[in-house]
Chain A
């Protein structure tokens, strides 16, 4: 079974440009998460989808970031316009359906390294 995949693996863009990151979760996983690690600091939560719905987007830094998950399958994270401080590694993770109060292991993709010049 394929794991979580992310595309591209590395993106280098100039300040002010737009970049779209893609995540393909494990097939059948309802939960999809985005995280990012900036400048070697802690990995921070961005948002959580349950199927196509945004369950929690409290970690999104500002309105330059837009995440979508049309059809409840793959997800995209668009940064428009990109700023220097957006550089970092963006991770995607997925997990199966969970009942309230329980935890399902999150399976992570390899990440997309974004460099904004």
Chain B
């Protein structure tokens, strides 16, 4: 069945460091891919999405490109801030959502 695998955390970075959180997926056909973020005490929020191969989703300085050849959707940000500290979930959907295990990011000043 469809599944998502993302890098295990926790990830701790200094402010302004470069961020990569790896995500790979297994699915038949062409799922839509997503990154969700959960800030402390809040619900899941959609961060970005891509619906077809080679699409790039971007939001708040974060980017991820739908790579069908490598079945990947890695999340990147060039310069993280303390306010980016959260748990990040990679997900895919064709009907219901399938999530990865989540990666906790802590950014220190």
Chain A complexes with chain B: yes
Residue among B41, B42, B49, B102 making CB contact with A42, cutoff 8 Å: B102
Chain A residues with CB under 8 Å of B99's CB are: 35, 42-44
Chain A residues with CB under 8 Å of B70's CB are: none
By CB atoms of chain A within 10 A, which of B36, B51, B95, B96 has the most?
A: B96
A-B contact count, CB below 8 Å?
Answer: 50
User: How far is A109 from B44 in the complex, measured between Cα atoms in Å?
Assistant: 7
Chain A residues with CB under 8 Å of B36's CB are: 108
B32 within 8 A of A: yes
A25 to chain B minimum Cβ distance, whole angstroms, is 12
Name the interface size band of chain A. Answer: 20 to 34
Name the interface size band of chain B. Answer: 20 to 34
A111 within 8 A of B: yes
* Contact in complex: A110, B97 (CB < 8 Å): no
Write the chain A residue with the least CB distance to B95: A56
A65 within 8 A of B: no
B89 within 8 A of A: yes
Chain A residues with CB under 8 Å of B91's CB are: 43
Chain A residues with CB under 8 Å of B4's CB are: 42
Known: A45-B97, A103-B32, A103-B93. A110 touches B102 (CB 8 A): no
Given A4-B43, A41-B101, A91-B44, 18 more contacts at CB 8 Å? A33-B96, A33-B97, A37-B102, A42-B99, A42-B101, A43-B44, A43-B89, A43-B97, A43-B102, A44-B99, A45-B97, A45-B98, A48-B96, A56-B96, A103-B51, A106-B97, A108-B45, A111-B43
On A, residues with C-beta under 8 Å from B are 3-4, 33, 35, 37, 40-45, 48, 56, 59, 91, 93, 103, 105-106, 108-111
17 contacts between A and B (CB under 8 A): A4-B43, A33-B96, A33-B97, A35-B97, A42-B4, A42-B98, A42-B100, A43-B44, A43-B91, A43-B97, A45-B98, A93-B97, A105-B49, A108-B44, A110-B41, A110-B42, A111-B43
